[in-house]
Chains A and B, each alone.
Chain A
Amino acid sequence: MKKTKTLIASAILAASFGAMQVYAANVPAGVQLAKNQVLVKGGEGEPQTIDPQKVSGTPGSLRDRDLFEGLYSEGKDGVLVPGVAESYTVNKDHTVYTFKLRHDAKWSDGSPVTAEDFVFGFQRLVDPKTASTYSYYAALAGIKNAQNIIDGKDKVSSLGVKALDAHTFQVTLDHSVPYFVKMTVNSSLFPAPKKVVEKWGDAWTKPEHIVSNGAYKLESWVVNQQMVFVRNHDYWNDKKTVINKVVVLPIVDAAVEYSRYMAGDLDMTSNSGIPTNRYHELLKTVPNQVKVSPALAVYYYDFNNQKPPFNDVRVRKALSYAIDRNIITKYVTGTGEIPAYSFTPPDVSGFKAKEPQYEKWTQAERNKKAQELLKAAGFDKSHPLNFTLLYNTNENHKKIAIAISAMWKKTLGVNVTLDNQEWKTFLNTRQLGNYQVARDGWFGDYNEASTFLSLLDSTSSQNNAQYKNPAYDKLMDEAAKANNPAPYYQKAEDLAIDQDMAVAPIYQYVTKRLIKPYVGGYMPNLEDNIYTRDMYIIKH
């Protein structure tokens, strides 16, 4: 206790967010609610699991946001909203975070949500026995000893988490992470009900066993058909929750989702629920139901930086410059995507990458420069550059690949062979570096630049471009330690894109969804962290 007090006392710059507004369904005055408060929504694919610590994709996390609640959540435009935590304090170095948990937070079996539940959840995440593919998230968040425990070198109990008392939870980090609280919105850092997990093992997430602490609890689950959530009346903010029942349909195909929406089966599609070929028609027929907003995600091409001729920066730059991103976003993807020139999307919080030099040029200038560079690298009409472009089997990726290879052919006389592989084979090939140029894309895990820039670190398991630059690694190390990492991120961007063109950013993804006009309380944000508890059904 003593240690804590001194820590808190020394936290001169301690941030306190106790007075922040708590979100819930805020129904404007005069809006008449429907009697039947049921929301049927698209849930992307079937989740691999809904165990918060094991969830590794958006299908799982979007369901967990309704079933569970972490320390903090996100509201409109990504603003942080207190969840189980009422407030937090942090020391000057941003290495010790102390969360005050609300006393009225309860699990769906009526027992209180305590700091121990968070300790258990965090420890579970890194415990190799849990075998969570998202365990790296704890290390990314800088939680003390996380990496050692994940690697099996240290005991789980040595993780930097502590329950100071039932309602005070403390996290100690290895290094300064000023954005740690933002990272707690991810489901891997949610609490876990120890008794239930230990009693049922892998089967604890089944409807008959699961105990959760979110606004909803799981009523039924039929794989590939639907999941049904009902109100958790033990939820601390249940009074302010309006929707009584949520039906989540696991639909992968945008065309199917669209038809079920048009038939009136769905109130709200997933964030990829608009088929590209229907977009313009929908903008005309139901403009108020089409919701498009930028996503924290980038579509890019990997150059294999270790393989000739792509180990030559002139070749990489020539190919990147010759891509007319405006044509891609306007005519090929065509649903509001934003051309990308830097690797980190400009909407990311706390850092706005300044335009790389080539962004300021016209496409004609880029093309001219590209031709010069490729010629200097030793390729011309008599000795053209030939290579294979690899993408995972998908109509949209195919269209983009055809368009870009045509641009390369026209501008640079390059001969591109297109090769597609189904997802798992593709991942395997790309990870092993058995490609020349490959399609890639990344949705940020949290709203901070390192979720993107760390991918190009030479030690990252996701450095598919095999980019290895010690100067870059050093910048990322320094950024991790800095109170204000933005200048380091800028240098990292300058180095990896402007100078080295390790990858070719192509466009920033968008969230595109259809929502019926009678669904209220939809608050889009960059990471698509949407909570049903904020929403309501208007009388219609």
Chain B
Amino acid sequence: MFRFIVKRLLEAIPTLWALVTLSFFLMRFSPGSPFTSERGIPAAVLANLQAKYHMNEPLMNQYFHYLWDLLHGNLGYSFRFSDYTINQLIAQSFPISAEIGFWSFLVAVSLGVICGVFAALRQNSLLDYGVMTFANIGMVLPNFVIAPLCILFFSIKHHWLPAGGWNGGAWQYLIMPVIAMSTSYIAQIARITRGSMIETMHSHFIRTARAKGLPKARIVIQHALRPAMLPVVSYLGPAFVGIVTGSVVVDQFFGTGGIGQNFVNGALNRDYSLVMGVTILIGTLTILFNAIVDILYVFIDPKIRY
């Protein structure tokens, strides 16, 4: 197990390096520059701006400079928000997205698994159809539709909840972002759980358990749930990263100040360092959580050994 973890960590290094390199050059080759503005910038001013970001040097030097700074944990100054470094921007926005993400994840997993299990146990019943209809709707309804609908209902019509803002993450401010964020995940998890549960319930060991006359609840909880969770867990690794790194839609509609908006606006503003910073964060988390999922397999499936 220890060897496995070390191996995964060592593999992460070339993966991250490739990610950094690719994003670095893709960003630089996009048309326009961070300093493109409606009014041209005087040459001497531009020279100083470029010097601040090492953009006056050859591209390869910029690249090595970036790698060097990165090794020291320095993600550089933001091109767009010149009062901020990338480390500061991420430190400010990531905890917000992580909090929304944490609750959305909790809601998505618990509701998704419960719905999936019940639908599977009552396969082809009204309950099953009901749950699956909801799941299909949840999957096709994008969050940019759910978010304004929530605002319309909870805030404008009934004035139950504030239409946006953060207020240190008070619960009233969390509800709508969590709904918007988790709906599609609930749906997805319910579908995966249902499929996998149906399959497991038809397997030999469950038939044996039934034949032995075990009560149904015990069969489901003790025997079926664990193996049925395998595909769900492999889905949850990347899904977790997607959830905690936020969504531009949620950030924009609810004005939470999360990291999702930074990513998209960073690209539009050619804020090279911001895009790089968020990419590296997402990349690192993805590798980390995929490794965690692999480790979890060992506990869920006794057949797996590393």
Interface residues of A (CB under 8 A from B): 46, 48-51, 54, 56, 128-133, 135-136, 150-152, 202-203, 205-206, 222-226, 249-253, 255-256, 259-260, 262-265, 422-425, 427-429, 431, 442, 461-462
Quick check: A461 and B257 within 8 Å, CB to CB? no
Quick check: A222 and B162 within 8 Å, CB to CB? no
Quick check: A265 and B162 within 8 Å, CB to CB? yes
Quick check: A223 and B93 within 8 Å, CB to CB? yes
- Nearest 6 CB-CB pairings of A with B: A225-B257, A461-B40, A424-B32, A263-B163, A263-B155, A152-B44
Contact check: which of A48, A131, A251, A462 meets B39 at CB < 8 Å? A462
With A133-B37, A225-B165, A264-B159 already in contact, the answer to whether A128 and B48 are too (CB < 8 A) is yes
51-89 of chain B: CB within 8 A of chain A: 52, 77, 80-84, 89
Q: What chain A residues lie within 8 Å of B35 (beta carbons)? A: 133
11 A-B contacts (beta carbon < 8 Å): A128-B47, A129-B48, A225-B257, A226-B165, A252-B252, A260-B151, A262-B163, A263-B164, A264-B159, A425-B30, A427-B37
Contact check: which of B253, B256, B270 meets A424 at CB < 8 Å? B270
Docked complex Cα distance between A431 and B49 (Å): 19
Quick check: A224 and B262 within 8 Å, CB to CB? yes
Quick check: B83 and A206 within 8 Å, CB to CB? yes
Q: What chain B residues lie within 8 Å of A259 (beta carbons)? A: 148, 151-152, 155-156, 163
Instruction: State which size class the interface on B falls in.
Output: 35 or more
CB A430 to nearest CB in B, in angstroms, measures 9
172-228 of chain B: CB within 8 A of chain A: none
Docked complex Cα distance between A130 and B165 (Å): 34
CB A62 to nearest CB in B, in angstroms, measures 16
CB A267 to nearest CB in B, in angstroms, measures 13
Quick check: B269 and A222 within 8 Å, CB to CB? no
Quick check: B163 and A51 within 8 Å, CB to CB? no
Contact check: which of B30, B45, B251, B268 meets A128 at CB < 8 Å? B45
Nearest neighbor of A203 in chain B, beta-carbon distance: B83
Docked complex Cα distance between A134 and B87 (Å): 27
CB A140 to nearest CB in B, in angstroms, measures 10
Quick check: A428 and B36 within 8 Å, CB to CB? yes
Q: What chain A residues lie within 8 Å of B252 (beta carbons)? A: 252-253, 256
Q: B15 near A: Cβ within 8 Å? A: no
Quick check: B93 and A224 within 8 Å, CB to CB? yes
Contact check: which of A51, A202, A250, A425 meets B32 at CB < 8 Å? A425
Q: What chain B residues lie within 8 Å of A265 (beta carbons)? A: 155, 162-165
Contact check: which of A131, A151, A222 meets B52 at CB < 8 Å? A131
Q: B143 near A: Cβ within 8 Å? A: no
CB B174 to nearest CB in A, in angstroms, measures 14
CB A222 to nearest CB in B, in angstroms, measures 5
Quick check: B255 and A249 within 8 Å, CB to CB? yes
Docked complex Cα distance between A206 and B84 (Å): 9
Nearest neighbor of A455 in chain B, beta-carbon distance: B39
Docked complex Cα distance between A74 and B51 (Å): 37
Interface residues of B (CB under 8 A from A): 30-33, 35-49, 52, 77, 80-84, 89, 92-93, 96, 148, 151-152, 155-156, 159, 162-166, 251-253, 255-258, 261-262, 265, 268-270
With A133-B41, A263-B162, A265-B162 already in contact, the answer to whether A223 and B269 are too (CB < 8 A) is no
Docked complex Cα distance between A461 and B89 (Å): 32
Docked complex Cα distance between A20 and B92 (Å): 45
Quick check: A424 and B155 within 8 Å, CB to CB? no
Docked complex Cα distance between A122 and B62 (Å): 33
Nearest neighbor of A262 in chain B, beta-carbon distance: B156
Quick check: B164 and A424 within 8 Å, CB to CB? no
Nearest neighbor of A133 in chain B, beta-carbon distance: B41
Contact check: which of A132, A136, A423 meets B268 at CB < 8 Å? A423
Q: What chain B residues lie within 8 Å of A223 (beta carbons)? A: 81, 84, 89, 92-93, 257, 262
Q: What chain B residues lie within 8 Å of A151 (beta carbons)? A: 42-44
Nearest neighbor of A256 in chain B, beta-carbon distance: B253
Q: What chain A residues lie within 8 Å of B40 (beta carbons)? A: 431, 461-462
Nearest neighbor of A264 in chain B, beta-carbon distance: B159
With A202-B83, A224-B257 already in contact, the answer to whether A131 and B148 are too (CB < 8 A) is no
CB B7 to nearest CB in A, in angstroms, measures 38
Besides A206-B83, A224-B257, A431-B40, 7 more A-B contacts (Cβ < 8 Å) are A136-B39, A136-B42, A222-B92, A259-B151, A263-B151, A265-B163, A431-B36
Quick check: B84 and A56 within 8 Å, CB to CB? no
CB A479 to nearest CB in B, in angstroms, measures 20
Q: What chain A residues lie within 8 Å of B96 (beta carbons)? A: 225
Docked complex Cα distance between A222 and B40 (Å): 30
